[in-house]
């Protein structure tokens, strides 16, 4: 997948995009990342990229002509999503990451200051994404979050085939706990079922743990999760066991 990022701070991507899985994906040619400095598209002799808003109100806005130049310099076809990272966008999720991973190419626009001239949204942006209900200083961290989550979905990026399908959220539930050696640490034992190594038993146990953890930490996810009849029964038992007041 080719990803173009338009930003005032290309250097912000240095660490996260040159480390671990992101670096491996780039090294193997699975993620072809291009960083572009929006300031290079200013036509102003002072290389200005922002201006004061009409109507007053303080703060500065990124200029529509500069944004248009920056996007048009990288855009190939109308099929390529042009995604603006903004707290006003649709809330990012596993499902959106999977949807974006289907595209051969994505363009991200990172905002700064108070935001961007609305005409850039009207004319050039095809999607707006928020990574949560809080305001960041700029879109760079949000773009990196989205790029990381999308890259994990690309075939060949994670070692084991289908490993991303076992991630938390992939089936609407959180993942249960995992353990490695030592078998006993400060009196805490690895659950016996995992030590016995009976495959079907382990699968049932893991599913139960996933439901239990989702009930405890993100109960609202259970409204949408696909559960079998047995699992619904189990959920009712967990809810009774744990009681809503003790959470």
DSSP type of residue 84 = E
Of 130, 151, 153, 209, the residue at the interface with ligand ADE (CB under 6 A) is 130
| Strand order across the beta sheet in which 105-110 lies | 32-37, 2-7, 105-110, 82-91, 127-130
Q: Nearer to ligand ADE by C-beta: 86 or 214?
A: 86
Q: Which two tokens stand for residue 194?
A: 């995992």
Neighbours of 75 (CB within 10 A): 14
Give the x/- contact pattern for ligand ADE in 49-88, rule: CB under 6 A.
Answer: ------------------------------------xxx-
Annotation marks residue 181 as catalytic: no
Q: Does 147 bind ligand ADE (CB under 6 A)?
A: no
Measured CA to CA, the distance from residue 24 to residue 41 in angstroms comes to 31
* Alpha carbons 187 and 179: distance in angstroms, whole number: 14
Q: Is 132 in the site for ligand ADE (CB under 6 A)?
A: yes
81 flagged as catalytic: no
Closest approach, Cβ 202 to ligand ADE, in A, equals 38
Residue 7, interface with ligand ADE (CB under 6 A)?
Answer: no
Q: Applying CB under 6 A, does 115 fall inside the site for ligand ADE?
A: no
Residue 114 known to be catalytic: yes
Pairwise CA distance, residues 80 & 87, whole Å: 22
User: 204: closest CA among 216, 194, 217?
Assistant: 194
Tell me which of 40, 65, 99, 167 is the catalytic residue.
167
**Helices (H), ranges, 53-183:** 64-74, 94-100, 118-124, 140-152
Q: Which of 140, 152, 207, 231 is catalytic?
A: 152
CA 150 vs CA 106, 130, 144, 158: distances in Å = 10, 14, 10, 12
Is 201 considered catalytic here? no
Out of 106, 120, 131, 173, point to the residue binding ligand ADE (CB under 6 A).
Answer: 131
Segment contacting ligand ADE by CB under 6 A, of 25-33, 128-136, 185-193, 201-209:
128-136
Q: Which residue, 146 or 158, is less far from ligand ADE as judged by CB?
A: 146
The full DSSP string for 138-161 is: SSHHHHHHHHHHHHHTSTTSSSST
The single residue of 10, 87, 140, 231 carrying the catalytic annotation is 87
Our finding on whether 139 is near ligand ADE (CB under 6 A) is yes
Mask 85-114, x = binds ligand ADE (CB under 6 A)? xxx---------------------------
Eight-state DSSP code of residue 243: -
Residues in touch with ligand ADE (CB under 6 A): 85-87, 130-132, 134-136, 139, 142
Active-site positions? 87, 114, 152, 167
């Amino acid at each position: 997948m080719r990803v173009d990022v338009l930003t005032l701070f290309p250097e912000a991507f240095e660490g996260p995009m040159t480390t671990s899985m992101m670096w491996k994906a780039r090294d193997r040619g699975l993620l072809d990342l291009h960083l572009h400095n929006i300031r290079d598209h200013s036509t102003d002799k002072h290389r200005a990229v922002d201006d004061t808003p009409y109507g007053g109100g303080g703060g500065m806005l990124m200029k529509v002509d500069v944004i248009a130049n920056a996007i048009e310099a990288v855009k190939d076809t109308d099929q390529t999503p042009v995604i603006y990272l903004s707290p006003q966008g649709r809330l990012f999720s596993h499902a959106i990451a999977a949807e974006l991973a289907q595209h051969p190419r994505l363009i991200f626009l990172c905002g700064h200051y108070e935001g961007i001239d609305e005409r850039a949204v009207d004319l050039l942006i095809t999607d707006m994404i928020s990574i949560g209900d809080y305001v960041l200083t700029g879109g760079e961290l949000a773009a990196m979050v989205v790029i990381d989550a999308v890259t994990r979905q690309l075939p060949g990026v994670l070692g084991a085939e289908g490993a991303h399908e076992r991630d938390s959220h992939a089936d609407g539930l959180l993942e249960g706990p995992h353990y490695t050696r030592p078998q006993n640490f400060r009196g805490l034992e690895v659950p016996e079922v995992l030590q016995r190594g009976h495959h079907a038993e382990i699968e049932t146990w893991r599913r139960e743990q996933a439901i239990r953890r989702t009930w405890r930490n993100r109960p609202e996810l259970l409204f949408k999760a696909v559960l079998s009849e047995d699992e619904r029964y189990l959920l009712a038992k967990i809810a009774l066991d744990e009681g809503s007041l003790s959470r």
